[in-house]
Amino acid sequence: MLAIAGEVGLEQFGFSLQKKLNSVFQNAGDDFTRVSQAAAWLYYAERPPFNIPSFNHWHFYSQPINPNNLSIETHIDVDNLKDNFDSIRKSVRGGKVSRTWPFAFLMKLYLTGMCDIYSPLHVSELFNEQFPNGDRNGRDFYVKYNGNFISLYDLWETGCGYFDSQVDFTSEDDWKKIDKLTNELSLAFTSEDWPSTLSVTQVIEGNYNYTRDTVYNGLVNGSEVSKEYITTCQNYAQDIVILAGKRIATDLANLNIIEIAKQIPYANAIRSSEVAAWSILFIFTPFAALLIWKKHFSTK
């Protein structure tokens, strides 16, 4: 789903510009077959063999859905999808990011964040009698689908089965599948008045309203989803992946990211041994600091 949005957003800039962007990513240590893979990097880093959960909270903004007006403690802080994405766009818009690694990292966060703000359950959290402390953006809310229980969040992440969540970008068959879906969805998308100029706040507000009024509508924790519900979900998922892709294209042009990318130096790629050396340093540094503190400053 993320790669399809990336393909839609980047295809208008042509092969040479995409090659330039990919060169920036490669010299920051990323081995992407296509630039659109950068849109899925944040999720890829959370999976084996990397298992890095440190960025997971950047996928979510937990605006409460509270139909019964319960007294709740909101889970929103400043380190979330909305605030982080706003900050990323401002950083890139300022044109001050001129080094390879910071630019590549911000671009990966930007591409993923754009997809997340359009995706249901990423910007809202349900509070009710079943979930007095919140359902963690649908991750704790389970429904029955095809005879199995799945979280509401995971169900919508796959477009209710429309998108294959197991694509790992390692084979040409995966890319053929993505290209086919991208072409089909682009041809089927007929809206001529899609909102290309909405602010991030407006996109999130629309997503929140849809999640409140449609995603949770008629469901309780543990209930089975109907065929009609799945059809609604699949149709909406097909639209939002194109909307997110088209918004990426508009943003890239308006924010002059392409011009910035042209000026990023990429003469020498980062060697794998260098990446390993810096990784070892960052792992060892806190341990070394602890030893020094214990030796010189701890109470005996």
Task: Report the sign of the C-alpha dihedral through residues 261, 263, 269, 274, in that order.
Answer: negative
Phi, psi of 261 (to 5 degrees): -60, -35
What torsion, rounded to 10 degrees, do the Cα atoms 155, 113, 17, 94 define?
170
How far apart are the C-alpha atoms of 283 and 286, rounded to whole Å?
7
Residue 183 backbone zone (phi > 0: left; psi -120 to 50: alpha; other: beta): alpha
Q: Over 80: is that where the pLDDT of 228 sits?
A: yes
Q: What is the pLDDT of residue 165?
A: 56
pTM here is 0.81
d(CA 183, CA 77) in angstroms, rounded, equals 39
Higher per-residue pLDDT: 210 or 14: 210
Least confident of 125-134, 146-155, 169-178, 234-243: 169-178
Domains of the chain, residue spans: 2-269
**Whose CA is closest to 130, among 70, 208, 213, 209?**
70
Q: Read off the pLDDT of residues 30-86 as tens digits, 9 standing for 90 and up.
A: 888 888 888 888 888 888 888 888 888 999 999 999 999 999 876 677 789 999 999
Residue 147's identity, in one-letter code, is G
Give yes or no for residue 289 having a pLDDT over 50: no
Q: Helix or strand or coil: residue 184?
A: helix
Determine the Cα–Cα distance for residues 203 and 27; give it in Å rounded to an integer. Answer: 33
Looking at the domain that runs over 2-269, which CATH code has it been given?
A: 1.10.575.10
